[in-house]
Structure 1
Amino acid sequence: MNRCQPRTMLTLVMLTGTLLSMPAWCAPPPWAPAHGHRAKERKYIYYPAREIYFEPARRLWFWLDGGSWQFGARLPISIGSKPSGGVSVLLATDRPYEAHDYVVTYYGKGNKAHKPKKEKKDKHSKHD
């Protein structure tokens, strides 16, 4: 028996253990169950004209009432009919009002609602 064989085996065992404990290098496919960051994202419908959110998964409405956010399975009578002109928004929170400043900046509010902003390329940049 060769004297180097036990050291080689020990090295291979340690290397294999190290490789197996490393995290995956790629993201899971879209059809896989969500874990981590993707699991925390929730889809909302934001209605900019009235600053109202609807979360289809939980069938919950979120609205501002007298300076504080309220939520429920139905909109209050004071709001009136179901709003229209909603846009789909993905947020990493179960309380959309926590990201309201971001949503208003990106999608607008009131009658000044607008499409999401897109970055413009600089037409005057020089290429070396």
Structure 2
Amino acid sequence: METNKMKISAFWSIIVLTLLFLIPQDVFSQGPPPWAPAHGYRAKTKHIYFPDQNFYYDVERKSYLHLSNGKWTISTKLPSIYSKINLGKSTQIQLEIGGHTPYIYNKEHIVKYKKPKKHKGHKHKH
């Protein structure tokens, strides 16, 4: 009985090792997204917040957190609604929030990182 368990364990070990050598390594390490800065992010950065689009990127899980039909959704690929935006040129805020739900602070982030509106027209004297 013990010999059969050892044979089965050895068999699966060989299968796993074989698959590790056959599967291209870039499948496991996708690297940074194309919009990420060349210099990378600080070690403490857990999430990137895109205030202009109001979504997050989870650096550790390499996933996007975005609103879809009023609910926060997670996706490993950039949501299609943002595909035509050059995120490399978009405002990026590095957040050090632990966990994987930075959106629980979304109302505060919207206010804190809101771009000041440019005044058009006449200048007012005070």
**Structure 1-normalised TM-score?**
0.47
Question: TM-score under structure 2 normalisation?
Answer: 0.48
Rg larger for: 1
